[in-house]
Amino acid sequence: MKKIIETFCKGIWKENPVLVLLLGTCPTLALTTSATNGAGMGLATTFVLVGSNFVISCISGIVPRKIRIPVYIVVIATFVTVVDLLLQAYAPASLYAALGIFIPLIVVNCIVLGRAEAFASKHNPLLSIFDGLGMGLGFTLTLTMLGVIREFATSGSVFGVKVVTAWTTDFLLPGSAPGAFIIVGVILAVRNFLKARAAVKAGRLYVPPAGLDCRHCSICSIGKDGE
């Protein structure tokens, strides 16, 4: 039980996919122009992530190692298409209008493949579901936060509701991709600064979480051949 909670919680802050793992930067930069878009993309990804993590964790025992990546991609793509079809058919028109454009983008979102390879293929289905939930929630929260910041800095509104009514001309920088890079960069810097300061105060060196540096990650084979 403790392990489940730990798996679930680590995605939200300790191993946050956007701010720590730096996965899924493409949707992070492209789709957080407004808070609604950010939350929509996050929720759609969470759904696919939980499903693909579960399926991949179930089949990982019988997938030949050499072709695991193509197999995972097929599983994820199938899952995304099923979600897309179901949403088109049964979701209310307004929900599909808001989420529809994001769904095909999830296939190429490397959080999904990254978690399949780094977590789901090595853990049991139950833990994998919670990993998907935690990572998805972390992704959703971060994207929503970015969306709120960018939307407010662009037009003074949050979730499409104008908060500063006198703000009539949009400020275009935060809404554009370069602005997104700058904002993400500042957030990363602040996060790392806080981490490093906490480490110094505790009198130890700041080290990235285990399993997250190049030497321990298994997503590519760099540095693995010698082992």
Partner 1 sequence: MKIRDNENLVVLGVFLALVSLLSALVLAVVSGFTSQPISAAKKAREAAALRQILPEFDNDINAETLTLESPSKWSIQVRAARKNGKVVGYAASAVNPAGYAGAVKMLAGVNPDGTIRAILVTEQHETPGLGAELCKRQFSKTIFNLTEPTPAGLPPNKYLDQFNGKNVPSGGWIISKDGGDALYATGATVTSRAIAKSASEIALAFQKSRIQLSKAFGGVK
Q: Judged by CB under 8 A, which stretch of 5-13, 109-117, 153-161, 213-221 contacts partner 1?
A: 153-161
Rounded CA gap, 33 and 79, in Å?
Answer: 26
Interface with partner 1 includes 95 (CB under 8 A)?
A: no
* From candidates 5, 26, 88, 211, binder to partner 1 by CB under 8 A: 88
Interface with partner 1 includes 89 (CB under 8 A)?
A: yes
Interface with partner 1 includes 124 (CB under 8 A)?
A: no
Tell me, by CB under 8 A, how many residues bind partner 1.
38
- Stretch 49-78 residues interacting with partner 1 (CB under 8 A): 61-67, 70-71, 74-75, 77-78
Q: How distant is the alpha carbon of residue 193 from its chain centre?
A: 22
Least distance to partner 1, CB of residue 32, Å: 10
Rounded CA gap, 196 and 29, in Å?
Answer: 25
Query: What DSSP letter does each residue of 81-104 carry, written as one string?
Result: HHHHHHHHHHS-HHHHHHHTTTHH
Interface with partner 1 includes 221 (CB under 8 A)?
A: no
* From candidates 20, 23, 29, 31, binder to partner 1 by CB under 8 A: 31
Interface with partner 1 includes 160 (CB under 8 A)?
A: yes
Rounded CA gap, 3 and 1, in Å?
Answer: 5
- Stretch 165-184 residues interacting with partner 1 (CB under 8 A): 165, 170, 172, 175-176
Closest-CA residue to 147 (of 112, 182, 183): 183
Rounded CA gap, 50 and 47, in Å?
Answer: 5
